[in-house]
Chains A and B, each alone.
Chain A
Amino acid sequence: MATPLTLRQRFSLARFLRGLGTETGPVTLDRRRIYILPTRQGLLLGAVLLAILLGAINYDNGLAFALVFLLTGLGVVSILHTWRNLLGLRLEAGRCPAVFAGETARFPVGVHNDGGEVRPAVILQAAHGSEATADMGPGTQWVELARPAPRRGRLPLGRFTVATRFPLGLFRAWSPLELAMDCLVYPAPAPQRGLPRGQPGIAGSGGQHGQGHDDFAALRPYHAGDSLRHVHWKAVAREQGMHTKQFAGEAAQELWLAWELLPRVAPEARLSRLCRWVLEADAAGLAYGLRLPDRTIAPDFGPAQRRRCLEALALYGERP
């Protein structure tokens, strides 16, 4: 899994500060990955111990010597305890639910503790975001790291550290990590303005769209992706199975949400408007298509269509 490091890699400062670069798959914190240094409190205790030691030497005080040496031992042993608190933890990237720009992306990180002992007070700290502290019992625990998502596109969690100061807070053990995990950020939806109507030259965008809801036409068996608004709930209540109501206008109307509908609008603002339309059309249960300069999505409806469209908007301009 982890390839052996060359001597140069092993002692490189960059590795010390930034970790090994982006990695996929679960990462086990082994000996090579965990660094440890005294905290400011640890150094302070060192100074206090030195002061007691000087006093002990001066007054030739046997018990003061014993105390200094006991606390020295405590400090040294706590290095091992702190280091061991991270050793062997396995970290795994989780799936991050998509958010709209301006919201906060939440990256779930799975921490597997294969040992039988609890690892208390393990801190996950994202370089550009939040910090979470948790006791890692045996088994797996999911910890969420938040990072603000100001722009659409793919947002990586970036570098984060797994750290701990447990048990005594005198030393901090840490391991810098970069797991391959992104959050898809949709464009921020523009303020509500209503759907586009009657665009000439755009096929199938008739004038009566939206009214189609009222003209009930037929029932067809429900399939995944159908809007729940159109489920024939009375039939469900009669235990006749799930059916979707079809409306007269629906088949005929095809709403196209197209890039060209918004001339003279800056590209990012266009994407925001399109995003809002997608949301409105979806809320209205309409079938809609999306046309972007680099991509066209055929009309359809339901959550899958919504996700497809929003994803296209989020990644517009980026070649996957």
Chain B
Amino acid sequence: MIPLHGRLWLLGALAAVLLPQLLRLPPWLAACCMGLLGWRLVIDLRNRALPGRWSRLLLTLLGIGAVLLGYRTLFGPDAGLALLSVMLCLKLLELRTLRDAMLVIFLGWFLVAGGFLVDQSIFVGAYLLLTVWLLTAALIALNHPGGPAHRYYLRRAGLLLAQSLPIMVLLFVLFPRLPGPLWGVPKDSLVARTGISDHMTLGTISELAESEAVAFRVQFDGPVPPADQLYWRGPVLWATDGRRWDPIPREFPPAWFRDAPSYEALGEPVRYALTLEPHDEHWLFALELPAALPPGLNVSADFQLLLPRKATTRQRYELAAHTRYRTGALPDEQRRLGLQLPAGRNPRSLALGREWADRAPADIVRTALELFRAQPYWYTRRPPLLGEHAIDDFLFETQRGFCEHYAAAFVTLMRAAGVPARVVTGYQGGESNPLADYLIVRQSRAHAWAEVWLDGQGWTRIDPTAVIPPQRVEAETDLQRFRSTDTPLLNADLGWITRNLSRLRYGWDALNNAWNQWVLGYNHQRQKELLQRLGLLHFGWQGVVAALFGAMGLVLAAVAVFLLRQGRPRTDAVVRLYERYCRKLARIGLRRLPHEGPADFADRVAAARPDLAEASNEVSALYVALRYGAARTETLSRLRDAVARFQPRRRRGSAATAA
């Protein structure tokens, strides 16, 4: 029924489609799939019989059982993909007709799409093109009973795909995207959690210090603000038991927490676009303090940006911030929370704080910072373990800590001295990609700092870590982070290999960023922005759809012209050249009569215009040789030259004789 070469192509293309799935399946399930593929291969090559209906049914039940065993469910992306892979392999065992084979190809495409739920990297995108190419070639092979022509299938499939690429781009850009999901996104999101958590115990942020994973990328509308203003605000922590710090509970927030806060901006806002890597949390990191909000986002009373849903996909946000500001009055609830300290913990720190209580708040802050600067406090990524009174141990015993130690200790001292204070977590700084115009903020930039409430200024950011003198900072990169956003590796006088590796790394990140921004992150919002900029939204969405169809029509017309040209008879070129020669003669009044053969016409031309005889006879002879004799390609080019050279000019008085 189906030609053998078609079946083999089908198996090969299917193997390519299944490969990335197999790498994700439990090994024994992957082995089952490979076994089924191999079985079908033996059936095809050795001409064996297909298994009977009952054995197929048994195998199907076994397959479902195997997936259940591996995933405990048949639903959800992971189990669904596994089930589809196994069923696709089982389908091969009852593949008889062309219809079955084509169904397998379509399901193969479906499987490729399913794989995108798990991974959408550039590699996967490139592999997508490869598998679609192979599946298309297999489809051509299946529909070509005339026998194997493997290279032709690949070439033809490549041609088809090349011609459909413009249509893909048009549809991708112009097909109206809908905001929000059509139905619920499943609970078991596929995002691995990295990044800042919603609470802080001493030591959690230093765990991130070694991670080079990207937290988010930022593109500024104007110049990048100085590095000491790049504080990316995340969860704000109020409540503490002496070791652990917690935010206002999101599930049961007090009434004041939902109130939009107000502040007085000093200076112009900074505008930027932030693309957040999915971190499976409800907050967004934003430059302090957030100004105009995009729709859907909320700002809490402590200036956290809150998302309507957990961030499970990479998303781009257009934001603005005022880096210089003055916040308003302090409500009583906030003052109470900002002074809260657990009883019976860290007695020495509390005692130290109370000593300062009668001074002015600004003076208290200065005193505390002076303490960190003057005393031998070290900034280290590997702080020693702390005991029950963690802040006491850090302040008076070990004196070695990461940012969270300094932030927690500072806030404890402030609260003890009667200054309302809170811990803010997030990221600090960022490295600019030297090859593209954006800032990369990695997990290693995770940071904790403090905010104190001062009369006349409101909430004021104090970063106690920043006062540690450079000689007491252990890691070079930690030292760098407050200084500038310049990328150290490219500036430093490093070896050629290191420099180029680093260049490669930034180039790759730039490519990934572009991919994320324009392929994966191209959603309703971005489409609207782009179309507005292109002026297409001027006529509403109908205009966009009309533009889409118009452009597709143009592409198809171009494809049709290409195809018709390709299929034009070979002799046509000869005829066209001869017709051009005739047109040239007609212009000077020598018209070829319908019944006149080329030789007769040439004779008549020679008689009428002896000066043209030689050139005209040459064209005529070449034409006759090509048309009626054994044609050779070099003769065609000679004819082309001869016709091009043939430039008859009207002679005074000759028109009369020619007519």
Interfacial residues, chain A to chain B (CB-CB below 8 A): 40-41, 44-45, 48, 51-52, 54-74, 76-78, 80-81, 84, 87-88, 114-117, 120-121, 133-135, 138, 165-169
30 contacts between A and B (CB under 8 A): A40-B99, A41-B98, A44-B103, A44-B106, A45-B106, A48-B109, A52-B109, A57-B177, A61-B117, A61-B120, A62-B120, A62-B519, A63-B519, A67-B109, A67-B132, A69-B168, A69-B171, A71-B132, A73-B167, A73-B171, A84-B567, A87-B567, A115-B568, A117-B567, A121-B144, A133-B145, A138-B570, A166-B140, A167-B144, A167-B160
Q: Given A81-B563, A120-B146, is A54 in contact with B182 using a C-beta cutoff of 8 Å?
A: yes
User: Which residues of chain A come closer than 8 Å to B145, judged between CB atoms?
Assistant: 121, 133
Q: How far is the CA of A165 from the CA of B523 in the complex (A)?
A: 37
Q: Is B112 an interface residue (CB 8 A)?
A: yes
A222 to chain B, nearest CB (A): 39
User: Which residues of chain B come closer than 8 Å to A68, judged between CB atoms?
Assistant: 113
Please name 4 further chain A to chain B contacts, defined as beta carbons within 8 Å, in addition to the given A59-B313, A73-B163, A168-B139, sorted by A numbering. A40-B99, A67-B116, A69-B171, A70-B164
Q: How far is the CA of A67 from the CA of B126 in the complex (A)?
A: 11
Count CB-based A-B contacts (< 8 Å). 175
B640 to chain A, nearest CB (A): 17
**The residue from A67, A117, A135 contacting B113, defined by CB atoms under 8 A apart:** A67
Q: Is B559 an interface residue (CB 8 A)?
A: yes
A55 to chain B, nearest CB (A): 7
CB under 8 Å from chain A, chain B span 136-182: 136, 139-140, 142-146, 149, 156-157, 160-161, 163-168, 171-172, 175, 177-178, 181-182
Tell me whether A121 and B146 are in contact (CB under 8 A).
yes
A85 to chain B, nearest CB (A): 9
Q: Is B564 an interface residue (CB 8 A)?
A: yes
User: Which residues of chain B come closer than 8 Å to A117, judged between CB atoms?
Assistant: 566-567
User: Which residues of chain A come closer than 8 Å to B313, judged between CB atoms?
Assistant: 59-60
Q: Given A44-B106, A169-B139, is A76 in contact with B167 using a C-beta cutoff of 8 Å?
A: yes
Q: Given A63-B520, A68-B113, A169-B102, is A74 in contact with B160 using a C-beta cutoff of 8 Å?
A: yes
Q: Given A44-B103, A72-B171, A133-B145, is A63 in contact with B128 using a C-beta cutoff of 8 Å?
A: yes
Q: Is B560 an interface residue (CB 8 A)?
A: yes
Tell me whether B523 and A60 are in contact (CB under 8 A).
yes
Tell me whether B112 and A167 are in contact (CB under 8 A).
no
**The residue from A55, A77, A115 contacting B163, defined by CB atoms under 8 A apart:** A77
Interface residues as binary, B77-110 with A (CB distance below 8 Å gives 1, 0 otherwise): 0000000000000000000001100110011011
A242 to chain B, nearest CB (A): 38
User: Which residues of chain A come closer than 8 Å to B522, judged between CB atoms?
Assistant: 62
**The residue from B116, B164, B171 contacting A77, defined by CB atoms under 8 A apart:** B164
Minimum CB distance partner of A42 in chain B: B102
Q: How far is the CA of A165 from the CA of B102 in the complex (A)?
A: 13
Tell me whether A51 and B165 are in contact (CB under 8 A).
no
Q: Given A41-B102, A61-B120, is A69 in contact with B175 using a C-beta cutoff of 8 Å?
A: yes
User: Which residues of chain B come closer than 8 Å to A63, judged between CB atoms?
Assistant: 113, 116, 120, 124-125, 128, 519-520
Tell me whether A133 and B181 are in contact (CB under 8 A).
no
Minimum CB distance partner of B125 in chain A: A63
Q: Given A40-B99, A64-B113, A67-B112, is A74 in contact with B143 using a C-beta cutoff of 8 Å?
A: no
Minimum CB distance partner of B570 in chain A: A116
User: Which residues of chain A come closer than 8 Å to B171, judged between CB atoms?
Assistant: 69, 72-73
User: Which residues of chain A come closer than 8 Å to B161, judged between CB atoms?
Assistant: 70, 74
Q: Is B255 an interface residue (CB 8 A)?
A: no
Q: Is B556 an interface residue (CB 8 A)?
A: yes
Main secondary structure of the interface of A (DSSP, over half): helix
Q: How far is the CA of A116 from the CA of B568 in the complex (A)?
A: 7
Please, how many residues of chain B have a CB less than 8 angstroms from a CB on the other chain? 64
Q: Is B183 an interface residue (CB 8 A)?
A: yes
Tell me whether A76 and B128 are in contact (CB under 8 A).
no
Q: Is B593 an interface residue (CB 8 A)?
A: no
User: Which residues of chain A come closer than 8 Å to B102, judged between CB atoms?
Assistant: 41, 44-45, 169
A126 to chain B, nearest CB (A): 18
Tell me whether A134 and B146 are in contact (CB under 8 A).
yes
Tell me whether A88 and B106 are in contact (CB under 8 A).
no
Interface residues as binary, B291-312 with A (CB distance below 8 Å gives 1, 0 otherwise): 0000000000000000000000
Please list the 8 inter-chain residue pairs (A to B) with the smallest Cβ-Cβ separation, ordered nearest first: A73-B164, A73-B167, A69-B171, A62-B520, A115-B567, A169-B143, A135-B146, A114-B569
Q: Is B374 an interface residue (CB 8 A)?
A: no
Q: How far is the CA of A117 from the CA of B172 in the complex (A)?
A: 33
Tell me whether B185 and A59 are in contact (CB under 8 A).
yes
User: Which residues of chain B come closer than 8 Å to A44, judged between CB atoms?
Assistant: 102-103, 106
User: Which residues of chain B come closer than 8 Å to A77, judged between CB atoms?
Assistant: 160, 163-164, 167, 556, 559
User: Which residues of chain A come closer than 8 Å to B182, judged between CB atoms?
Assistant: 54, 57-58
B1 to chain A, nearest CB (A): 13
Q: How far is the CA of A63 from the CA of B124 in the complex (A)?
A: 9
Q: Given A62-B520, A63-B120, A80-B563, is A116 in contact with B181 using a C-beta cutoff of 8 Å?
A: no
Q: How far is the CA of A65 from the CA of B181 in the complex (A)?
A: 14
B329 to chain A, nearest CB (A): 42
A117 to chain B, nearest CB (A): 5
Minimum CB distance partner of B112 in chain A: A67
Q: Is B521 an interface residue (CB 8 A)?
A: yes
Q: How far is the CA of A117 from the CA of B566 in the complex (A)?
A: 7
Q: Given A59-B117, A60-B523, is A70 in contact with B143 using a C-beta cutoff of 8 Å?
A: no
Minimum CB distance partner of A45 in chain B: B106
Minimum CB distance partner of A54 in chain B: B182
A185 to chain B, nearest CB (A): 31
Q: How far is the CA of A59 from the CA of B136 in the complex (A)?
A: 26
CB under 8 Å from chain A, chain B span 247-290: none
A204 to chain B, nearest CB (A): 57
Give the most central of A48, A78, A120, A134: most B CB within 10 Å: A120
Tell me whether B178 and A57 are in contact (CB under 8 A).
yes
Q: Given A41-B99, A59-B185, A115-B567, is A69 in contact with B167 using a C-beta cutoff of 8 Å?
A: yes
Q: How far is the CA of A167 from the CA of B183 in the complex (A)?
A: 37
User: Which residues of chain A come closer than 8 Å to B120, judged between CB atoms?
Assistant: 61-63
Q: How far is the CA of A63 from the CA of B522 in the complex (A)?
A: 10
